């Protein structure tokens, strides 16, 4: 079998590479010398007709030439690009430096926007904003809030403790801020406590181990459940619109008695739970030393929950993915 003159092929390639006028020509040359219709491809088809030893020898030659052709094309292309770029005037060169100043502007994250909106609604009716630490004591997170030792929320499977003695933890609710505020302030009290909370939850469409919560507390003389109901109905209509319907259904929370969940009637007629609330249990007020003539109410709402309902977001992870296509919608 007559073998292809490889030296002649490589010489022909070098002449072609010397006459290149544009970067796109390198792709055309690669197709001509290495593609399906190339001389090398035709030579490979002949391998099946050779003996085992000849097939191995000639196959190795073809592979060596194939690599040599590919290397020559890549080197010539790199040299062409380098020469082209170095010959440009400084004003013609592409600026590949990073522009640290955004040309699109910026705005607050959707969760921050919702948190601010909720805080503003309650601030408009006289509530102050209070903050507290994210790493808390078990006493502030559970005992002071009338949570018994046997309550499942205390289990290590539900709560993220920071020590072996289970005395410190990542707070599971911002109700801890209410306790700290009452420890240092005399009644009456009207506060909201926004912030991050942490629970040992698996990530799914509506749950995350880290999320945001806002809890409210009102302590004064002669406060009743009707005051709680009126306050939360005002909030719901301000946040979702005047047409929204609400209802309160009985529930249980260790730190309030009686307790309730607030539901809103959605567009499709479905009732959806948005927050929990109730009258502050007397034991909670006793733990902070408040006089018996004071009573009050409290509530807690998830900021992600509010945002998902208001903007019809189907998965909680969208808030944390930092996908600019999602964030730009708000």
Burial grade of 283 (CB within 10 A; 0-12, 13-18, 19 or more): middle
pLDDT in tens, 135-151: 999 999 999 999 988 88
CA distances from 234 to 84, 228, 284 (A): 69, 10, 26
In the prediction, which pLDDT does 87 show?
A: 66
In the prediction, which pLDDT does 248 show?
A: 95
pLDDT in tens, 139-190: 999 999 999 888 888 888 789 999 988 999 999 999 999 999 999 999 999 9
pTM reported for the whole predicted model: 0.66
pLDDT in tens, 87-122: 665 555 556 666 656 556 677 899 999 999 999 999
In the prediction, which pLDDT does 9 show?
A: 81
Radius of gyration of the chain (CA): 35
CA distances from 212 to 62, 173, 236, 264 (A): 65, 9, 18, 20
pLDDT in tens, 265-320: 987 888 989 999 999 999 999 999 999 999 999 999 999 999 998 999 988 888 88
CA distances from 327 to 105, 319, 322 (A): 13, 8, 7
CB 129 within 8 A of CB 202: no
Q: How many whole angstroms separate alpha carbon 148 and alpha carbon 136?
A: 17
Region 219-225: what's the mean pLDDT?
Answer: 94
In the prediction, which pLDDT does 97 show?
A: 67
Report the DSSP beta bridge partners of residue 196.
212
CA distances from 268 to 109, 264, 271, 275, 309 (A): 28, 11, 9, 20, 13
Task: Please tell us whether the domain made up of 110-327 is placed in CATH 3.30.360.10.
Answer: no
Domain boundaries of the chain, sorted by first residue:
6-91, 110-327
Q: Which residue has the higher pLDDT, 237 or 64?
A: 237
Q: How many whole angstroms separate alpha carbon 179 and alpha carbon 98?
A: 48
């Amino acid at each position: 079998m007559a073998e292809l003159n490889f030296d002649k092929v490589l010489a022909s390639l070098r002449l072609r590479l010397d006459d290149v006028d544009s970067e796109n020509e390198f792709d055309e040359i690669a197709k001509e010398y290495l593609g399906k219709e190339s001389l090398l491809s035709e030579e490979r088809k002949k391998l099946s007709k050779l003996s085992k030893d000849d097939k191995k020898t000639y196959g190795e030659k073809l592979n060596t030439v194939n690599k040599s052709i590919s290397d020559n094309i890549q080197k010539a292309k790199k040299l062409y690009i380098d020469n082209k770029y170095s010959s440009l005037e400084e004003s013609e060169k592409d600026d590949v430096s990073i522009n640290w100043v955004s040309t699109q502007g910026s705005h607050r994250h959707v969760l921050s926007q919702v948190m601010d909106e909720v805080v503003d609604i309650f601030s408009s009716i006289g509530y102050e904003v209070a903050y507290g630490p994210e790493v808390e004591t078990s006493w502030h997170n559970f005992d002071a809030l009338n949570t018994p030792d046997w309550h499942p929320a205390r289990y290590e499977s539900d709560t993220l403790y920071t020590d072996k003695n289970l005395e410190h933890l990542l707070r599971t609710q911002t109700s801890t801020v209410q306790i700290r505020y009452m420890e240092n302030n005399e009644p009456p009290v009207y506060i909201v406590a926004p912030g991050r909370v942490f629970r040992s939850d698996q990530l799914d469409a509506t749950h995350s181990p880290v999320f945001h919560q806002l809890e409210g507390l009102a302590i004064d003389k002669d406060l009743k459940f009707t005051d709680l109901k009126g306050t939360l109905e005002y909030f719901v209509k301000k946040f979702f619109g005047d047409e929204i319907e609400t209802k309160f259904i009985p529930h249980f929370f260790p730190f309030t008695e009686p307790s309730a969940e607030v539901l809103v009637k959605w567009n499709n007629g479905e009732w959806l739970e948005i927050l929990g609330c109730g009258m502050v249990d007397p034991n909670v007020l006793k733990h902070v030393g408040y006089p018996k003539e004071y009573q009050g109410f409290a509530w807690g709402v998830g900021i992600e929950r509010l945002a998902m309902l208001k903007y019809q977001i189907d998965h909680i992870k969208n808030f944390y993915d930092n996908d600019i296509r999602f964030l730009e919608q708000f």
